[in-house]
Structure formats: C-alpha cells, structure tokens
Structure 1
Amino acid sequence: MASTVPEANGAQADVIAFLENPANYAPAPEGVDRIDTHGAIVFLAGDYAYKMKRAVRLPYLDFSTLDQRLRACNREFELNTRIAPELYLRVCPILRQPDGMLSWQGAGEIVEYVLIMRRFEQSQLLDEMAIAGKLDEKLMVPLAHHIVDTHGSATVHKDVDPAKSFETILEHVTAALTRDISPIPVDDVAAYRAAASAALRETTPLMRERARQGFVRRCHGDMHLRNIVLLESGPTLFDALEFDETLATIDVLYGLAFLLMDLYRRGMRRHACQLFNQYLQDQSGIRHLEGLALLPFFLSCRAAIRAMVGLDRKANVSQDRTAAIDDDVRQYFAFSRQFLTPPRARLIVVGGLSGTGKTTVARMLAPDIEPVPGALHLRSDVERKLMYEWDPEEPLPESAYAEKVTAHVYQRLGDKAECALRAGHSVIVDAVFATESERRDIEARARKADAEFLGLWLTAPADVLYARVSAREGDASDADVQVVHQQLSYDIGVVDWQHIDVDAGPDEVRLRAAKIIGLPQHN
C-alpha cells in the first residue's frame, strides 16, 4: 500500500510551496505549472523543469529518505544523459537557511534535491500528440530506429534469470489489485494470477535462453508515450526507470511491449503495428522472431502493471478523479487477461505482379490480423535489401535479381514466416510468387507451423501496372516498366488463391480482402 513518510512529508510540503512560487526562480516566470505522478512532482518554470521525488514507499519503490531520493536523482541523471543529453542539466539541492527560509544556495541544511531539465512544450510529448489526434503514424519509423539504437547500446546481462523477476512482478500486481481500493473482483484477480503463472512456467525456458543469447539488457524500463518527446533530432526517450535495476534489466522485447501495449490501449493499432514491424525489420535476424512467443505474456504483464500504477495514483488525486482512474484500471486489467489468450496464428500471403499494390494491401491488413500488435509483415523487396545490407530506397545492381538470389530471398521469407508462426504470431507476406514452387513452398510453411493459410492474388490491367510502378518514389521496390513488361510474359500457371482485381482502388481492395480474411470491415 502506498505510504507517505510522515517526517519527510512536512519538509516536502515546504519544498512544494517553495517550488510553486515564481518568485523563487531567476528570472521569475509568469507562473509555475505542476505535474503530479505517483513517484514525483514536476514543476515547470520558465525555460526549465524541476523534478522532485515524492517521499513515498511503495512495494516496488522507496523514496522515503533524503539519501534515497538523492541516489534516485543521480541515477536518473546518469541514465538519461545517455539517451537525452540535450534535456538533462544537473541535480541541485534545496537548502534551509538559519532563518528557516528555503533557497537554492548558501550554507544551510539540505532538505531536498531536484533534477533540473530543459523544458519542452507538453504538446511535443507523444502522449499529448496522441490525445490531440496529431501523432503521425510515420513517426513510428524513426521512433523504432531510436529504440533499436538504445537497445543496441544497452548493457547486456546474460546472468539474469528473467523468470524470477516476473514471479515478483505477478506477486506485487495481484497484491495491489486485491486492495480495498481496487475495482477488480478478487476472483478475477485470482483467475488472472493462475493464468499468468501458467504462461510464465511455459515461457520460462525461452526467457532464459534469450538471456543467454544477450537479449536481456539494462533498458529504459518505462517506455510509454508519456516518456517520449519529439525534439528537433526526432522522437527521444527520456525519464528512464531509475529506482530498481531489476525492473529495468529486462528482455528488449519486454521493453518494447510497454509501448506497443500503450498504443494498442489507445486504439492506435496501425501505429503499434508499424512500430512493431519497423523494430523487427531493423533487427533483421531470425533470432528476434523466436522471442515473439513471449510477447503475449509480456503485453499482459505491462497492462497489469499499469492497472497497479493506476491504483497507486489514486492516493494523489482528488475524489472527483477516482472514478476515471478506476475505469482505466478496469480497462488495463481486461487487456491483461485478453493478451494471455491469443488466437491461432495465421499466414496471409499477398501475391501478384509488380504494381498490383501488394505492399499497400498488406500494410492495410496487418494491424487487424491478430494477435496484438498485428501481423509481422514480410516483404520480398525489403528482404532483398536486408540481404545486401542496402539502403531500402536505393536500387540494387542487376546482379541482385539473379535467379539464385531470388530463390534465396524466398527461402528467407519462408524461414522467417515459419519461425514467427511457430512462435504463435501471425504473418503477412507480400511478394510476386510468380512460380508454382514458390506458392507451394509458402503454403507448406503454414502447415509445418500448424497455422491457418490464406493466399490472395492481386490482378490489374497492364496499363495500371505500368502507371503505378512509374509513379513510385521512396520505395524499397526496384521494379520499373521494363520489369513489369517482363513479368507479363511469365507463365504463372494456375493460381488457386483468392483473386482480387485491384483496379477498384486501395480502399475497396482492402474491404474485399478483409471480407475474405474475416477482418473488421472498415477503411
């Protein structure tokens, strides 16, 4: 249960009043805005932000003494200057002078510490952008690059047993959700604990193997939309978890799961799917796909933790806001249960000649293909560039399209699809699939992985194909009019997949494809 330490609380009341007064800053701002969280208070004054740790003790966090708050401030500064050096400035003491007044300097007694940061507009937080409906889906691409870079430079911990950490997490979460202030029925919490514990037992061997492979690292630990800001340099993580190394030393996929869950919970499925696919594309290797078997459990834990944190927030809000918090807690808890029971994996293949819009259709369908956060999208054009470690938008030499190379591309597509399917995750593959053997092989991959298969074959008149490839800009495909002309001469044979004429336009094609697959009927 949350608690504020009495002897620290009085001192913090003075500090809060001090930090809320514009006259105590130089130059004095017109006003001071305040942001409250369960573990800190942030004061926005002029060009800077001043973050003070709350004197609280929670099951997973202890800021109850001044020394503990100082260590937390220093650790937060150390961690975040690595990922957002332009934001974090210094840790500063607040002192009580002999006359009892508080000040930023002098020879008095230190009564508190604050972390000083450069202020940014709150509208630049990805959380605020999402609320305002201004979070561009395209921003997920550079965000994925940033996360991959952050994970790539994070310290590896091969000796960690992730399963033990999750046992503790489940214990804390279920204890919190059965408190008197919880809106969740006790029986529902017990059912969740049983299901989550079973999922943990099943996935423990893979968790430990991934730790040995180097996937457990000292990550951000608290990666959701409110801890990402859009700076001139691009989307930037900040406010990394500083108070518990165990909670932040995690599988990189568990780190990503927090952000995926946050996007999904807000109804931003396309954003979540785009981020998920770009992250895995940047990683390239097949070993990352094996970890998808852990994703349902990871998402579930993240949602359950947010439900727990919501209850902790109730101690710091007015009575009129508790009903909204209870609604959030119920929603997070419902998601935590939903994520534990993902549907059977599916393999959807979108084939057709260049210019039929395979990638457009695949991208439109992927977010709605369960499980969360949508299907893994594999694309032959991208896979070929990855093979050569080539810029996706730069054309490859002609030799990269030799028959043997193409065969290798399809082999890689099949291998990756089968790996993800065996991990229980759905896949959508888009490639020409001009030969009978290519089509039969990809179908066989689904059977080997005990996954459902459905093939779509897109068709269009030659003039439409020519027009579409001529209009392409900034795309991974190197196909041009000459390539389309060559493909039109292929003896493709009988294609027994579902045929869709794409001349009707992308929205109509999406609706037709969604109906065939059994997805929601929306544009």
Structure 2
Amino acid sequence: MDETGNKHMATLEDSTERMIAFLRQPSAYPHRPPAVEIRQTHASVLAIAPPYVYKVKKHVNLGFLDFTRLSERKENCERERRLNSRLCPELYIGVLPIASKDNRLFFGAEGRIVEYALQMRQLPEGFFLDQLLQSDQVTPATLDLILQKLKRFYEEHPPAPSVSAYGEAEKVREVVEGNLIALKEHTGEIVQEASLEAVQNYCARFFADNQALFEKRVQEQRIRDCHGDLHLDHIHIWQGKVCIYDCIEFNDRFRYIDVASDMAFLAMDFDFHGRPDLASYITSRLASLLHDPDLALLSDFYKCYRACVRAKVECITSQEPEVPAIERQRSREKARRYGSLALHYALFGSQPAVLVVCGRSGSGKSTIAGRLAELLGWEYVSSDITRKALFDIPQHQRSSPEMRANLYAQQVTDHVYQILLNQTRYAVMNQRSIVVDASFGQPRHRALFGQGLSRAQVPFLFIEMQASDETLRKRLAKRDKSRQVVSDARFADFELLRQLYHEPNEVAPGQLLRINAEKALGRIEKEILQQLSVLIGKNREQRGG
C-alpha cells in the first residue's frame, strides 16, 4: 500500500474511532441512557443505549459490500429498515442523521451531516435464540414457532423471474466460489490450505453432479427473496412472539437464494453450537412444512457454504484494528471452528464419523491423528494416553522397565482397546465425531472396532501411516532425547515392535487408506484429505447416495 493509501486507511480508522467515542457517551442521546454498550461487527458499530439500539455502518469496502460513501450508508440503513420490516416490523423505528458542527458530533441535521444511524427498539435480553439454547430452553415446540413464521414468509413473497434466476447453478457457483476465494486470503494461521482445498473440491463435485437438481429448484420456484443471514442471534422469542431481524440488505444476490440455503444457515448454527439434533429437526420439519422433499438433498452442501461464510466474516473481524484484542482473538477461534465444520460437511455430511489412525511406532500416527482432530474439530482418544492413565503415570513420563512388563501385558492392551471402543461409541451415540490414535497392529483389535462400529451404524475408516524401517529407526532413536513423547516405544524396542505389528490386509479396501508418512506434514494432511474425499465419494456412489 502506498503513502496515499496508508493515509486514507488512517483517516478511516480515525473516523471510526471518533464515531465510536461519540456513540459511547450517554449525553449524546436525547433520552440520556444511564450507560451505553458498544459492539462491533465486520461492517457495523452497534450502540446499545436502553431502551434503544443504534446501528452505524462502517466506512468499509469488503468487495461483497461497499459502505465507503455516505449516500450508500444512508441507503443501506433505509433498505435494512424496509426489508427487516417483513419479519419484525415493530423493531425498527427510523434512520437518524448524525451531524458535525464546531468539531462536535450530535444527532440531528444541523451542520454537516456525516453519518446516519438506524434506530431500533432494544429487545429483552435472555430471549435471543443463542441465549435460549445456552439455558436449554430450545425445544421442537420453540422451533415450530420459528419455522411456521418462515413458512408464511416464504409463501407470502413469491419470486419474480429476476429473483428465480439467482438459483441457476452458475449463479450459485459464482457466489460459492467467490466466498471461497475471499476465504483463501486468510489461509495460514486461521484457515488451513489443505482443508480449504478439500472444501473447494467437494463444492466443484456437487455442482458437477447436481445440475438437474438446481434447474428443478428454479422451476419449482424454491428461489425466494429470503433473509440471507439466518443464524441464532438474529432470532428473538419473547412471550410467544418471534422476531427475526438483521437480514442481508447490502447485496441482493446474498438474499435471492434457495429456501434450502436460508434454512441451512440456521441448521449449521445449531451444529456449531453442538446441537445436531435440533439442526436435523429443522431440516426435516421445514421440508415437510414446505412440501419440499429435495430440501434434504441440498442441506449438507448449503451448510458447508454457510460455515465458510461465517469463517470469512470472523476472519475479517479478527483483523479490524478498531475491534478490541479479546474480540479479535475470539473471532480467530470462531473462524477456525467454522472452517472445521465446513470440512466435516464436505467429507462426511452432517452425520458423525470415526477415523482410526494406525501404524507402527514411529510412523507419525499420533502427530497425524492429533492434527486431523484439530482440522476437523473432532474429539481425540489415544491408546498411549489411556494406557498411562490406567496406571496413574504422567503422560510424558517414560515408564520403568519393570512397570512396562505390566503396562504392556496382553490383557492390559486388550482392556485399553475396549476402553477406546467404549469412548468412541459413546461419542457417536451423542452425535460427536472422533479420531482414534493407536497402532492397531493386531487383527483382533481391528475386528473389535470394525464390528463395534458397524453395529453402531457409524461410518469409519482406518488410516494406516507407513514408513520405511530406516525412517522408523531414526524417529524412535530421536525419542530418547525428547521429553514430550507420550509413547514408551524407543529405538531398542524396534525389532519387538516390528514382529508384533501385522498389516491391516484384512480390512476392506473401501475402509482403508494407506499413507506415506515420510513426507512433510502439510503434504501428508493434503494427501489424506484428498484420498478421504475420493474414497468417501466412491462409497456414496456404491450406496446410491
């Protein structure tokens, strides 16, 4: 950025900081609230001044929205009021000018108008859907109130041909790919390149395989002028009254969408908050209310897209200098979680799944298992950690030779694998996915998991990490100098470990990946996600799904 650009950015930051300082003062408001709370999004500043809330657009151009000119900010305030009145007319009061005179800001039109604020009534705290979920007050009956309102909303606004056109496959592809391109700018610390590539590949395959479905949606008039930003904290329920607010006003193409896409945002948000049961309920219930059996076919695709949208928004917020540091860090963490959720949808859809990472000691299986759990946002269990916990041995303390005779006795090892299976089955019974880290060098332990997970009807895959004897020896020898290794296996154990390990040749090809563990970590991650994608795709085709 050149000197002119730097000065422009500094001016915008100063302008935003000045506006926040003004909005923070109770004396700035005609009704003199006792206190004012400031909140920020990537595009707006919110001033909570009971009993009102004032929303001011930031001077930003993010590509998908442009608020750099005063006229645009005023127009978007007015559009926001008009569009949101469709679902919550009582919330919005008006658009107020903010003027500057004698180097002071104030509400009113005297002097030079520098900004506009959207004035809203403050909704009672504790009744936003995310808050109700946190206090365990969201039930199917609660959701039915929301879904009935959405049903009426969709049916009362039949689409014009200009709106329906946005449901064509190429139009949808433009939006999805545009979001992924924007997200790619944040690869590195927050967004992992291997994960994003897997999501991109999934989306490309979905478009290639479902052209007829997109055409059918347009013909059936499933493309409507929707809400476009339908997540938990945009829904308020109080005394049986549902208020759905803060729809997309700045870009029509984000609002002219399939009702399946609108619903998917809400379903994805329930998944994000650990309630896949509620996500599943709203998907099936809305499909029934709208007489739309194909809605479920699009659910995972649109949930993946919506998770990417939220990841992008949180990435943007995490880099805004005027946002407090603690909120920027919170946005980084949310962005990672949304990215993990998108990857899960791309690979496994909405159902829980199990990855069993196995291999000889020194193959790097624990490193890869931990990394996959982090990328996917899954739970992680380890035979090494479980084994030491049974004997109250600290994780990174190597057991004595005398202790190891008991620690690695066959009956103890069998018990460890049974514990791992019990933990895995408990996780998937509660709709949580899990990565299992153990050598699985004995066929009976692989059979134990295969039979147990098949009975639980949960998809699972073995990932065997492979490396040459020379590489394994080097890695085991290296452990003698490290104090951060959980496993007790060392160079001196190489021959015994080699004899004890039996390759998983009996595992069906559709449930086994073999991975070269001698590459760089980033390349291994990318290869695993690529092979998972291909293998899962083949399995779906064989099942006719």
TM-score in same-fold range (> 0.5): yes
| Distance (whole Å) between structure 1 residues aligned to residue 151 and residue 332 of structure 2 | 34
Sort the Cα spacing of 1:272 and 1:190 in 2 relative to 1 into closer, same or farther, 3 A: closer
Give 1:138's match in structure 2, choosing from 133, 137, 141: 141
Q: Report the residue type matching 1:248 in the other structure.
A: R
In structure 2, how many angstroms separate the alpha carbons of the residues matched to 1:295 and 1:80? 25
Change (3 A) 1:315 1:184: closer
**Using the alignment, how far apart are the partners of 1:229 and 1:519 within structure 2?**
36
Shift of 1:275: 2.0
| Residue of structure 2 aligned with 1:153, choices 139, 152, 156 | 156
Provide Cα deviations, 1:487-519, integer angstroms capped at 9, x if missing partner.
xxxxxxxxxxxxxxxxxxxxxxxxxxx997647
Q: What residue in structure 1 maps to residue 60 of structure 2?
A: 56
Query: Tell me, what secondary structure is at the counterpart of 1:58?
Result: coil
Identity of aligned residues (%): 25
Look up the match of 1:333: 339
- In the alignment, the residues of structure 2 paired with residue 127 and residue 45 of structure 1 have an alpha-carbon distance, to the nearest angstrom, of 21
Query: Could you say which residue in structure 2 is the equivalent of 1:274?
Result: 281
Matching residue within 15, 23, 26 for 1:22: 26
**Offset at 1:212?**
2.2
For residues 169-318 of structure 1, what are the structure 2 equivalents within 5 Å?
169-179=176-186, 182-283=189-290, 285=291, 288-316=292-320, 317-318=323-324
Corresponding residue SS for 1:57? coil
Task: Measure, in 2, the Cα distance between the counterparts of 1:83 and 1:331.
Answer: 30
Deviation at 1:178, TM superposition (A): 4.0
Residues 237/344 of structure 1: CA separation in 2 closer, same or farther (3 Å cut): closer
Task: Provide the aligned C-alpha RMSD in A.
Answer: 2.7
Distance 1:278 1:205 in 2: 24
1:76 aligns with 2:83: no
Indicate the residue corresponding to 1:34 in structure 2: 38
C-alpha deviation, 1:189, in angstroms: 1.9
- CA contact under 8 A between 2:230 and 2:266: conserved in structure 1? yes
Alpha-carbon distance in 2 for matches of 1:192, 1:30? 48
For structure 1, list consecutive stretches of 5 or more residues without a partner in the other structure: 346-513
CA distance in structure 2 between the partners assigned to 1:344 and 1:41 by the alignment: 34
- CA change 1:73–1:155 in 2 (3 A) is farther
Q: Letter of the aligned partner of 1:299 in structure 2?
A: K
User: Which whole-Å CA distance do the structure 1 matches of 2:237 and 2:194 have between them?
Assistant: 42
Distance in 2 separating the partners of 1:289 and 1:54: 41
Contact in 2 for aligned 1:123/1:129 (Cα 8 Å): yes
Match of 1:117, SS state, is strand
Distance 1:51 1:321, change over 3 A: closer
Distance 2:191 2:119 in 1: 38
Pick closer, same or farther for the CA change 1:32–1:307 going to 2, 3 Å: same
Cα distance between partner residues in 1 of 2:217 and 2:129: 30
Distance apart, 1:95 and its partner CA: 0.9
Say which SS state the counterpart of residue 229 (structure 1) adopts.
Answer: strand
Deviation at 1:323, TM superposition (A): 4.4
**Matched residue type, 2:338:** Y
Flag the 1:104–1:323 CA change in 2: closer, same or farther, 3 A. Answer: closer
Instruction: Summarize the Cα distance change of 1:222–1:162 in structure 2 as closer, same or farther, 3 Å threshold.
Output: farther
Gap change, CA 1:102 and 1:323, over 3 Å in 2: closer
User: SS where residue 15 of structure 1 aligns?
Assistant: helix
Displacement of 1:204: 2.9
> 1:42, CA displacement in angstroms?
0.9
8 Å contact from structure 2 (residues 186, 315) kept in 1: no
Q: State the AA in 2 paired with 1:270.
A: D
Structure 1 position 295, deviation (Å): 1.7
TM-score between the two structures when normalised by the length of structure 1: 0.62
Q: Deviations over 1:55-112 (max 9, x none)?
A: 1111322111211111111110110112101101111110112x22222224311100
Pairs aligned (count) = 347
Residue in structure 2 matched with residue 12 of structure 1 by the alignment:
16
Change (3 A) 1:82 1:131: same
**1:21 CA displacement:** 0.5
Instruction: String of CA shifts for 1:301-344, please: whole Å, max 9, x gaps.
Output: 01111111110110234444544433322221222122134479
The answer on whether the counterparts of 1:47 and 1:119 sit within 8 Å (CA) in structure 2 is yes
In 1, are the aligned partners of 2:190 and 2:336 still within 8 Å (CA)? yes
| CA–CA distance in structure 1, aligned partners of residues 192 and 272 of structure 2 | 21
> How far off is 1:5 after superposition?
5.0
The match for 1:348 is none
> Structure 1 residues 111, 251: CA separation in 2 closer, same or farther (over 3 Å shift)?
same
3-state DSSP of counterpart to 1:50: strand
Instruction: Return the alpha-carbon distance in structure 1 between the equivalents of residues 148 and 64 of structure 2.
Output: 31
For 1:82 and 1:248, the matched residues in 2 are separated by 13
Q: Secondary structure at the match of 1:211?
A: helix
Give the match for residue 124 of structure 2.
Answer: 121
Give the Cα separation in 2 of the matches to 1:70 and 1:9: 20
Find 2:113's aligned residue among 102, 110, 134.
Answer: 110
1:101, 1:302 → 2: CA distance?
A: 42
Deviation at 1:54, TM superposition (A): 1.1
* Contact 2:314-2:335 within 8 A present in 1 as well: yes
Cα offsets for 1:173-219 (capped at 9, x unmatched): 24423436642332332232122112122223311221122111110
Q: Write the letter of the residue equivalent to 1:236.
A: C
Q: Aligned with 2:339: secondary structure?
A: helix
| 2-structure distance, mates of 1:28, 1:155 | 44
Instruction: From 70, 90, 94, give the equivalent of 1:90.
Output: 94
- What corresponds to 2:401 in structure 1? none
Q: Is this contact kept in 1: 2:187–2:193, CA < 8 A?
A: no
Please say if residues 178 and 186 of structure 1, whose CA atoms lie closer than 8 Å, have aligned partners that are also in contact.
no
Task: Give the deviation of 1:259 after TM superposition.
Answer: 0.1
- Letter of the structure 1 residue corresponding to residue 216 of structure 2: E
Amino acid at match of 1:128: Q
8 Å contact kept, 2:179–2:308 = no
For the 8 Å contact 2:311–2:336, the answer to whether it is kept is yes
SS across alignment from 1:122 = coil
CA distance in 1, matches of 2:349, 2:339: 19
Deviation of residue 153 (structure 1)? 1.9
The change in CA–CA distance for 1:182 and 1:515 in structure 2 (over 3 A counts) is closer
- Find the aligned partners of 1:216 and 1:333 in 2 and give their Cα distance: 26
79-88 or 120-129: bigger deviation: 120-129
Over residues 283-302 of structure 1, what are the superposed CA-to-partner deviations in whole Å (9 max), with x where a residue is unaligned?
2x3xx112322222111101
Question: Residue type of the partner of 2:57?
Answer: K
Distance 2:83 2:176 in 1: 23
